[in-house]
Amino acid sequence: MLNRLSQETSPYLLQHADNPVDWYPWGEPALRKAKSQNKPVFLSIGYSACHWCHVMAHESFEDEKVAAILNKHFINIKVDREERPDLDRIYMNAVQTMTGNGGWPMSVFLTPDGHPFYGGTYFPPTPRFGIPAFTDVLLAVAEAWQNRRQQIIESSNRLTTTIELQSEIGERQADSLNSATLTSAFQTLLQHFDHKQGGWGEGPKFPQPMALEFLLRYHHTTGDTRAQHMVTMALEAMARGGIYDQLGGGFHRYSIDGLWLVPHFEKMLYDNALLARVYLHAWQVTGDAFFRTITEEILDYVIREMTDPGGGFYSTQDADSEGKEGKFYLWTAAEIRGLLGVKAKTFMAAYGVTEEGNTSTDQTHGFGDLNILKLVCGLDQRTELSEARRKLLIARQPRVHPGRDEKILTSWNGLMLAAFSEAARVLNRDDYRQIAEHNADFLLRELQKSNGRLWHTWKAGEAKLNGYLEDYTHLIEGLLELYQVTFHPRWFLAARDLAEEMIGHFGSPEGGFFDTSDDHEKLIARPRDLQDNAIPSGNAMAAFVLLRLAGLASEPRYTELAHRSLSQIQPLLAQHPLAFSQWLIALEHALASPREVAIVGDPNAADTGALLDVCTTGYRPHQIMALGDPGQETPVVPLLRDRDQIANRATAYVCVDFTCRPPVTQPEELEALL
């Protein structure tokens, strides 16, 4: 018998629609029932691609006896963290405050008013790993609520006050922006870098694309070759590893070990969006064709497997298939021999395939005689084995595919829009431009309201949930990149209008922005996540896109808002660079005196093309461009206003800090100014 979740659009919630647990989605009906029956709330937060969420579902939420305890003593609410990042942040802060740890599935117990008083993550059906059995936890909480309710309420109120304080910046001294912060952050990253395997940490090891972006920028500005070395070493190690899908392209979420071999097999849209841009920029810096190849393989994977016919990008692919993590991606030596014949020996040597399985010596993460493909040969041989990879990819296709979460999130789509747009410009790929335009058109048509505000999520024709700060900031970034490919004023106007909506509805009087709008549902706290996590924080990206938009819009107010946010957060950046990497990118950009380039000329003329080529050749992280037709009386983009051609030739104006250099018409002159 289906429960209330059957009426939801979230694939994660629908996975639980036939549980015997009497689930509610988050909302007033559930909280009202908790108050009327004076029962505590059991809140379970997860997402569709989460392996341990599936494990807990099978072990506990599908069990009639466990469900009977939940239904008797609690009002049970299930939340998709990707749909409700606001709830996820509030209650994750609570769990981390209570336990010192966090993760998914997240299990939190609330008073009927929504105040947390106990929580954790995964609870097993029987005691193990030092974790109590889920049924024991449920009965203990129920007993405490029955007999020590006032004590619980007082404790939950204190915890709620702590959570509210965590959302405040406070009265910090607004220091002037300082390049010493960047140097200190670089030194910290260098000190903790894994100089044997690349990346940071021993396992689990995450790709850290924002930290790599910062290091590329730092190298560009300072010339410090150690920064570039960290980037190229990490990128090559990851692209060789099992964390990368060697056949189909695209990165898995993270590596369980320190060698990049054994991944957690879920694939997330945002990881691949951020990594595609890092690999693209690394190719621009180094000219290494391998990095360009990985960029294109990531984006081609997204086109093939993660793109809705309407133009949006899907959210995730599951770690599991047929109930086993990674089964879709793993190979036995016998399977490869049967498919490749005489080529099998060469392929197996190149990709680390063994008869006994290349993870079999690792008792914790072994997969028996199955192999995770990891490139161990020279990069030249990878090209030679392209036909063998194609055969294996075709042979893999009939397997049971991992589940795919087909909801379309505005924020994550904005990140992928930026990746396709920049790749279209840098690689001169018109197919990528078409994908980007199709996506932007979809987002502005389906996920923007008539009043200019954004929805957060779309699935099967239905858009819902008020947009969060990250929806505005990440989409603005994507639109700015798309404008610089097509130079169609529509994309600039959309970005500027969204910036104004963001400032008006999310801005804080003390500087920076809240994660939720001023007309959002009232929760126990108004979240304000300052740290960058798997994706850039809304606040960090707000500073970055306002700096970029300021030049195009000729709007100093945007720069002032960004500088105010950066000055308040700056003391934290050097201490914790992996937690504030997007902030470091924004700070580095602010200190670099970005170049705003206005080109006036016939878009189809050779002399205009020559100037554009200067702007798009090489790695130019501190630049934003506008192109205007000389016949246009009043250009839409303010940077283009009052710009005339010289001697009827395409003319470029380079501006820094709202001051413009004399116009030039020759590519060599423009190159010198940039």
Strand locations in 392-454, DSSP E? 404-405, 408-409
| Residue percentage of the chain with pLDDT more than 70 | 98
pLDDT, tens digit, 9 for 90 and up, residues 596-642: 999 999 999 999 999 999 999 999 999 999 999 887 778 999 999 98
pLDDT in tens, 217-261: 999 999 999 999 999 999 999 999 999 999 999 999 999 999 999
Mean pLDDT of 308-337: 95
Cβ(169)–Cβ(510) below 8 Å: yes
Task: Residue 194: name the closest of 229, 220, 222, 221 by CA.
Answer: 229
227 is written with which tokens? 């920064």
What local confidence, expressed as pLDDT, does residue 363 receive?
44
Q: Do 535 and 415 form a contact (C-beta atoms < 8 A)? A: yes
Look up the CATH superfamily of 4-166: Glutaredoxin (3.40.30.10)
Give the separation between CA 666 and CA 610, rounded to whole angstroms: 8
| Residue pLDDT, tens place only, 18-44 | 999 999 999 999 999 999 999 999 999
How is residue 191 written in tokens?
């000190």
Mean pLDDT over residues 438-450, rounded?
Answer: 98
Handedness of CA 189, 192, 196, 199 (dihedral sign): negative
How high is the pLDDT of residue 163? 85
Tokens of 338: 């049967």
pLDDT, residue 169, reads 61
> Would you tell me the crossing angle of helices 225-240 and 209-222 to the nearest 10 degrees?
150
Percent of the chain with pLDDT over 90: 90
Average pLDDT over residues 85-110: 94
Which region holds residue 647: left if phi is over 0, alpha if psi is between -120 and 50, else beta?
A: left
Dihedral (Cα; 462, 464, 468, 472), 10-degree rounding: 40
How do residues 445-461 score in pLDDT, each as one tens digit? 999 999 999 999 999 99
Query: Within 13 Å of residue 558, how many CA atoms lie on the same side as its CB?
Result: 27
pLDDT above 70 for 361: no
Domain boundaries, the chain: 4-166, 185-320+405-591, 327-401, 595-673
CB 94 within 8 A of CB 159: yes
CATH topology of domain 185-320+405-591: Glycosyltransferase (1.50.10)
In this prediction, residue 581 has a pLDDT band, given cuts at 50, 70 and 90, of very high
End-to-end Cα distance, the chain: 66
Q: How far, in Å, CA of 237 to CA of 205, rounded?
A: 12
Q: What is the pTM of this model?
A: 0.95
pLDDT at 366: 65
pLDDT in tens, 169-200: 654 555 689 999 999 999 999 999 999 999 99
pLDDT at 20: 96
